[in-house]
A = this chain, B = another copy of it.
Amino acid sequence: MYVFETQIRVRYGETDQMGYVYYGNYPLYYEVARTEMLRSLGLSYKQMEAEGILLPVRSLNVCYLGAAHYDDLLTVKVILKELPAIRIRFFYEIYNELSILLNTGETELVFVNTVTRKPKKAPASLLAELKPYF
C-alpha cells in the first residue's frame, strides 16, 4: 500500500451559493492529489504525457460526508491499494483542519498511448518506484 498526503486551500471561486465547496470541484482536488503523489515518487505526470502516455479517467465515485468551506486548508489523502497494471485505482479521503472526514472518493484511470489512444501497461519507472510498498 502506498499512502500520500497533500494540502489544498479552498478558493473563493470554488464555493457555491450554498456556502460550501461545489460538489463538482472535488474531482479537481483529487487530480491535484494524484499529481502530487506521483511527484512524491519522483515521477511527473507531465513528463509521462511528454513520453507518450495519457492517463484518462474511467470512473469516479465520491461520497460526500461533510462540507468544505472557503479558505479551509484541506488534507487530501491518496491511497494506492494495489500495483497498477493497465489500470490504476486511487482512493481518496479529504479532511478539514479539525480532522473531520469530508468525503471519500475513488478513481480508476487507464494508461493509454498518446498517439493510438489504446490502453497499455503502466510505465516501468512507476512500477519500479511503487514495488517496495507492495
Contact = CB atoms under 8 A, between A and B. Distances in A.
Copy number in this complex? 4
Given A61-B60, A62-B60, A12 B20 contact: no
A24 B16 contact: no
Secondary structure class of chain A's binding surface, majority of residues: mixed
Contacts of A11: 28, 31-32, 35
A60 B60 CA distance: 8
A64 B71 contact: no
Given A16-B16, A17-B15, A24-B25, A58 B54 contact: no
Given A12-B16, A17-B15, A61 B59 contact: yes
Interface residues of A, number: 38
B54 A59 contact: no
Contact of A19 (B17, B26, B64): B17
Interface of A: 9, 11-13, 15-20, 22-28, 31-32, 35, 44-46, 49, 54, 56-64, 67, 69-71
